[in-house]
Chain A
């Protein structure tokens, strides 16, 4: 079965620190990749997505992600985090050979200390 893993369960950073959250998936075919953010008590919002083309994609709020096909990875980065980035982050993959089934990673909780 397809699966998505996220390297860290909980990350704690100080403001202005750089962020990198890891995401790996299990399938070697064509994929569509997403990062979602969930602020406390809220629903999921899309940060960025990759379908094809430039493997470095830029999203909202200064986030970016790099797709490395050979490593089955789609890591999320931000050069300088803010307290308002405190949230849970989910990587999601649509495995195209499996139709419209979307698989989410378990999530990484980010706490940014002021």
Chain B
């Protein structure tokens, strides 16, 4: 089944404790992206990647890191999480750069105490 998977789905952590949220897609998509969803703000793009070893900042990259060492994986790293990073995070992928549909993962709900 074609899908985007994220792990973990739920995470509660404390300020300053490094964490990684994994994202994987099995559709051989070139493009992958991370968003955070907050009430009243919709989805805001954090980082995106157009291919292996190519990453770019979205609208809200501060406090986040990403890497794209393999085509299928695009982990989101919070080196020192803070409470304002409490949010619902979605990973997405799409096949190429011709503006086709993005496929979204199930979401990761992160709480930083």
Contacts and interface: CB of A to CB of B under 8 A. Distances in A.
A binds B: yes
A42 B106 CA distance: 7
Given A105-B42, A106-B42, A44 B90 contact: yes
Contact of B48 (A42, A96, A101, A104): A101
A9 B42 CA distance: 11
B44 interface: yes
A25 interface: no
A100 B44 contact: no
A96 B42 contact: no
B42 A51 contact: no
B38 to A, nearest CB: 9
Contacts of A99: 56
- Central interface residue in A1, A45, A102, A107, by most chain B CB within 10 Å: A102
A101 B58 contact: yes
A103 B105 CA distance: 18
A46 interface: yes
B111 interface: no
Interface residues of A, number: 26
A17 to B, nearest CB: 24
B31 to A, nearest CB: 6
Given A32-B99, A44-B104, A103-B45, A9 B40 contact: yes
B1 to A, nearest CB: 14
Contact of A103 (B40, B59, B102): B59
A106 B40 CA distance: 5
Contact of B44 (A49, A94, A104): A104
Contact of A49 (B43, B101, B106): B101
14 contacts: A1-B59, A4-B42, A32-B99, A34-B101, A43-B105, A43-B107, A51-B99, A90-B42, A90-B43, A100-B31, A103-B59, A104-B42, A104-B45, A106-B40
Given A43-B106, A43-B107, 18 more contacts: A4-B42, A42-B106, A43-B104, A44-B43, A46-B102, A90-B42, A92-B43, A96-B99, A100-B31, A100-B50, A101-B58, A102-B45, A102-B48, A103-B45, A103-B59, A104-B44, A106-B41, A107-B42
